[in-house]
Amino acid sequence: MTIQAGEKMPEGSFGIMTENGPGAMSTDELFSGKKVVLVSVPGAFTPTCSMQHLPGFVEQAEALKAEGVDTIACTAVNDVFVMDAWGKDRGVGDSVLMLADGNGDYARALGLEMDGTGFGMGMRGQRFAIVVEDGTATHVAVEAAGQFEVSKVEAIMQAI
């Protein structure tokens, strides 16, 4: 079942790159006591994800933080090395936390996985953005297939 506004975010963990190499971050560390915008893209380095979705959140990071957002996090069903390289390539710096959902476990826990095997991408996470306050989803915006409207930064800023 797909996560809905008002529901607690499922427990899980993400891969992150640390100064000492690959590490992990639990959902409790990510969400507890914070307002977080969790953005999911079908894949790092893919056209819409790289040229529009992630850059919008990087460009508007300060505006989101001015609205009370503590953390902007971007996840994809990619490994920690890919997410780290993609973040560097897109110049995210400290504005967006790059989270690897390497096996798609968190996308599946949210009920937001998608089958990209027809495109040679395997199982992935759908394109979405969720506003989370202290571990509870307060706004869930999931894109229809092939769309990029409800999860882009402008729509999320209106929802906050």
Q: What is the pLDDT of residue 146?
A: 85
| 72 strand-pairing partners | 37
The secondary element (H helix, E strand) that includes residue 58 is: helix 54-59
Name the superfamily (CATH) of residues 13-159. Glutaredoxin (3.40.30.10)
| 40 strand-pairing partners | 75, 128
Residue 50 has pLDDT above 80, yes or no: no
Condensed to tens digits (0 to 9), the pLDDT of residues 107-151 reads 999 999 988 888 877 788 999 999 999 999 999 999 998 898 999
Average pLDDT value over all residues in the chain: 94
Return the number of other C-beta atoms located less than 10 Å from residue 26's C-beta: 12
Catalytic positions are: 49
pTM for the whole thing? 0.94
What three-state secondary structure class fits 96? coil
Q: What is the pLDDT of residue 1?
A: 82
Return the number of other C-beta atoms located less than 10 Å from residue 91's C-beta: 11
Predicted confidence band at 6 (pLDDT cuts at 50, 70, 90)? very high
Condensed to tens digits (0 to 9), the pLDDT of residues 61-75 reads 999 999 999 999 999
Domain residue ranges in the chain: 13-159
Q: What is the pLDDT of residue 43?
A: 84
